[in-house]
């Protein structure tokens, strides 16, 4: 997506009116304004934004729909080395606009409900929910980029079978044990 368009995505809109007019919206949301999401990630650059494109329309059943895509770059905690990793989160979604749980129940299975008031919806909150949904539960660096990859290789079954006989030097703990022994 282009960095040229830096307009802020409107926060509150009438999504039903937008759907009836087949409107498109595109813009950015400062990540610092999304506090639930901000708390769920390790960090983000000063000035980081979530870029959002939305299409509002009516489907063949005259349901009001918002579909869209988003993209945000944040830092997550690699669960192998516990270090920071830069991650580009992206999502595509199609939501059916509803004003009650009863309407939500009637949506077909492939449409997630977006619960709104009669004439207004908080788009920032909707985008924040979508971001939280695409957060990986177990983020990991690419293997070659992870500072902990050598630890990992030491315990890999593949390596173990390639060299079945353990030598004292292979394992840092046995080296420590050896040092301890020399002291006594």
From the CB of 139, what's the least distance to Zn ion, in Å? 9
SS (H, E, C) 123-149: HHHHHHHHHHHHCCCCCCCCHHHCCCH
Contact set for Zn ion, span 123-142 (CB under 5 A): 141
Contact set for Zn ion, span 20-79 (CB under 5 A): 78
Binding mask 73-112 for Zn ion (x = CB under 5 A): -----x-xx-------------------------------
Name the residue number minimizing CB distance to Zn ion. 78
- CB of 101 or CB of 144, closer to Zn ion: 144
From the CB of 53, what's the least distance to Zn ion, in Å? 31
DSSP label at 167? P
From the CB of 146, what's the least distance to Zn ion, in Å? 3
- CB of 78 or CB of 95, closer to Zn ion: 78
Q: Total residues at the site for Zn ion (CB under 5 A)?
A: 5
Please, what is the Cα angle at 54 between 50 and 60, to 5 degrees?
A: 155
Query: Which value, to the nearest 10 degrees, does the dihedral of the CA atoms of residues 48, 51, 26, 115 take?
Result: -100
Instruction: Quote the tokens at residue 180.
Output: 């301890």
Q: How many CB atoms lie within 10 A of CB 10?
A: 13
SS (H, E, C) 26-90: EEEEEHHHCHHHHHHCCECCCCCEEEEEEEEEECCCCCEEEEEEEEEEEEEECCCCCCEEEEEEE
Binding mask 145-184 for Zn ion (x = CB under 5 A): -x--------------------------------------
From the CB of 147, what's the least distance to Zn ion, in Å? 6
Binding footprint of Zn ion on the chain (CB under 5 A) = 78, 80-81, 141, 146
């Amino acid at each position: 997506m282009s960095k040229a368009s830096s307009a802020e995505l409107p926060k509150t809109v009438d999504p039903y009116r937008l759907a009836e007019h087949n409107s498109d919206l595109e813009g950015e949301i400062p990540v610092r304004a999304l506090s639930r999401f901000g708390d769920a990630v390790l960090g983000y650059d000063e000035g980081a934004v979530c870029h959002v494109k939305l299409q509002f329309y009516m489907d063949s059943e005259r349901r009001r729909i918002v579909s869209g895509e988003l993209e945000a770059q944040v830092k997550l905690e690699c669960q192998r080395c516990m270090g920071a990793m830069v991650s580009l989160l992206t999502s595509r979604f199609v939501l059916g606009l509803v004003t009650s749980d009863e309407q939500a129940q009637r949506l077909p299975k492939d449409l997630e409900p977006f619960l709104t008031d009669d004439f207004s919806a908080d788009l920032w909150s909707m985008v924040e929910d979508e971001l939280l949904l695409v957060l990986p539960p177990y983020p990991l660096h690419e293997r070659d980029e992870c500072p902990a990859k050598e630890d990992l290789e030491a315990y890999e079954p593949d390596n173990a079978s390639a060299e079945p006989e353990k030598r004292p030097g292979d394992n840092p703990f046995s080296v420590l044990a050896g040092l301890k022994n020399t002291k006594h």
